[in-house]
Amino acid sequence: MQGELIPAFPGNHNMANYEEARANFKWEDVEKEFSWYTTGKVNIAYEAVDRNVLEKGLGDKVALYYSDPARNEAVTYRQMMERSNQFANVLKKYGINKGERVFIFMPRSPELYASFLGIVKKGCIAGPLFEAFMENAVKDRLGDAEAVAIVTTPALRNRIPKDQLPHLKHIFMVGVPEEGLGEGEIDWHAEMAEASTEFDIEWVDREDPMLLLYTSGSTGKPKGVLHVHNGMIQHYQTGKWILDLKEDDIYWCTADPGWVTGISYGVWAPYLNGVSSVVRGGRFKPADWYQTIQDNKVTVWYSAPTAFRMLMAAGDDLVKEHDLSSLRHVLSVGEPLNAEVVRWGMKVYERRIHDNWWMTETGGQIISNYPSMAIKPGSMGKPFPGIDAAIIDDNGNVLPPLQMGNLAVRKGWPSMMRKIWKNEPKYNEYFKIEGWYVSGDSAYMDEDGYFWFQGRIDDVINTSGERVGPFEVESKLVEHPAVGEAGVIGKPDPVRGEIIKAFISLREGYTWSEELQAEIVAFVKTGLAAHAAPREIEVRDKLPKTRSGKIMRRVLKAWELGLPTGDLSTMED
């Protein structure tokens, strides 16, 4: 399908010509766009919010159009500045200092965004968590980060095991629980009402940490990916050239701030570019999403393949029932965007869906399709100007076009992660080939310079765009009294990309039944997260293992797909 080409739509795109941009672009030139370039005072939250009010006259412009089935609210840039100042003052009052970790664990709301920006203004490290996390997942992350405070809601408080988190001192509660506040719990609204709307921003170094995001690998617990203020250079410029943001845009990023997309492109990119941003809370519903576009007159829409596939399944008629004519630019990230979905987008939205590739670890977009460039459906596009991405072999040799290998990025782009929290060996693993960041994805580049995703090299599962580490799920499964051993793989699925499939062996005295299956699924759901629970479980007498006792997931996968199992020389008898 490599030959299929969808030409660029005519229009006044911020990046007029990719080749030209690539030839002339320098990251240093972007630095001049920021206040700190002249003042020397750095804080990403100042550049994203306060500066729009204080230097650009955008105080009355709407920063956030928030809606969910129960609420509808617009927050201007001035209000966002004042509310984030208030929360920064609250943190100050409780003695929370620069560099300390403050987590956020709540559904999307205006309060979440004000808290997040306040944390960053105070120079703290923000740790956003997805609201679906259950107790174990919350405990692992807060414990590893030694978080001192968390912002949450009464509905989620029981998932924060205070007694097991010795560093956690303050729980800012958005909404007061019926039973009243417990020890260490603080009424968010009451504190905000008392706090000054003025705050002396904590000026930081560009290399100071700002964000800690946990993500899954194939082994061990989730790892804390640390990002610094300097990432703003990339968030701003990719917002300009990839999201193609312009002054009057109404931009909607559908991602939750518990994932990197919901921060880099749900907060920083739109605010650094001074546009109005839409946030829709509540659950995914196709009609609801189209209504959100129609009501807000969304012009730029950034979503994910799973969502597009579910919208496709919801049918073309639903599209016709809504007015989506405001849409100018549509983008997708998180997993492979099927060529089929791109063709469907052309048919029903009459728009191209622009795929792009990046990761939690890269902090910002790396490879993309640009509005001024012809698209090859199924391809992720080309490296951003100023970024050198390539396909390399295991020795670091750059491979010629059409050869599959490691998708790698030349070290040193502005939003690159700076650390894995308290785990230097893990960090170094990404950079084990001199000069390169090795992504863990395999891909090839075609003769025209377009990149094509082939798969993960490790066993990490991508289900509905969410990264799930098989080890975490296996560990949870074997905690269940009926489960002896567990091996977890991603099984191809037409809508979710992959679903989680578990192979287990039962302990003595247990027999398999539908009830037991439901119980085990619920066990993972409540212990870890709903999206981490296996959709399929298959019971085997024995699981394939190496002689050192490692479950051989590739053998399970081969069984599942009916493929040859390959080299079994390391397998136990």
List residues binding ligand WT7 (CB under 6 A): 215, 260-261, 333-337, 355-360, 380, 439-441, 453, 456, 462, 467
Return the bridge partners of 442, or none. Answer: 406, 455
Would you say how long the chain is, in residues?
573
Name which of 110 and 334 has its Cβ closer to ligand WT7.
Answer: 334
Residue with tokens 């917002």: 239
Nearest-approach distance from CB 367 to ligand WT7, in angstroms: 8
Q: Label the pairing between strands 353-357 and 329-332.
A: parallel
Nearest-approach distance from CB 507 to ligand WT7, in angstroms: 34
Name which of 208 and 256 has its Cβ closer to ligand WT7.
Answer: 256
Nearest-approach distance from CB 163 to ligand WT7, in angstroms: 31
Nearest-approach distance from CB 527 to ligand WT7, in angstroms: 21
CA distance 119 to 90: 10
Name which of 144 and 355 has its Cβ closer to ligand WT7.
Answer: 355
In angstroms and rounded to an integer, the radius of gyration of the C-alpha atoms of the chain is 24
CB distance 356 to 333 below 8 Å? yes
Q: Which two tokens stand for residue 69?
A: 């089935």
Q: Is 515 exposed, middle or buried (0-12, 13-18, 19+ CB in 10 A)?
A: exposed
Q: List C-alpha distances in Å: 510 to 77, 149, 505, 545.
A: 59, 43, 10, 22
Nearest-approach distance from CB 427 to ligand WT7, in angstroms: 15
Nearest residue to 486 via CA among 502, 500, 510: 502
Return the bridge partners of 42, or none. Answer: 204
CA distance 100 to 249: 35
Name which of 80 and 333 has its Cβ closer to ligand WT7.
Answer: 333
Name which of 131 and 191 has its Cβ closer to ligand WT7.
Answer: 131
DSSP string, 60-123: TSEEEEEEETTEEEEEEHHHHHHHHHHHHHHHHHTT--TT-EEEEES-S-HHHHHHHHHHHHTT
Name which of 237 and 462 has its Cβ closer to ligand WT7.
Answer: 462
Nearest-approach distance from CB 368 to ligand WT7, in angstroms: 9
- Dmax (CA) of the chain: 72
Nearest-approach distance from CB 128 to ligand WT7, in angstroms: 13
Nearest-approach distance from CB 333 to ligand WT7, in angstroms: 4
Name which of 327 and 359 has its Cβ closer to ligand WT7.
Answer: 359
Q: List C-alpha distances in Å: 198 to 42, 50, 52.
A: 18, 11, 16
CA distance 289 to 280: 8
Name which of 83 and 376 has its Cβ closer to ligand WT7.
Answer: 376
Nearest-approach distance from CB 261 to ligand WT7, in angstroms: 5
Strands laid side by side in the 497-506 sheet: 483-493, 497-506, 536-539
CA distance 560 to 282: 35
Nearest-approach distance from CB 534 to ligand WT7, in angstroms: 19
CA distance 542 to 572: 11
- Comparing every residue's Cβ against ligand WT7, the nearest one is 360
Name which of 42 and 126 has its Cβ closer to ligand WT7.
Answer: 126
Name which of 260 and 327 has its Cβ closer to ligand WT7.
Answer: 260
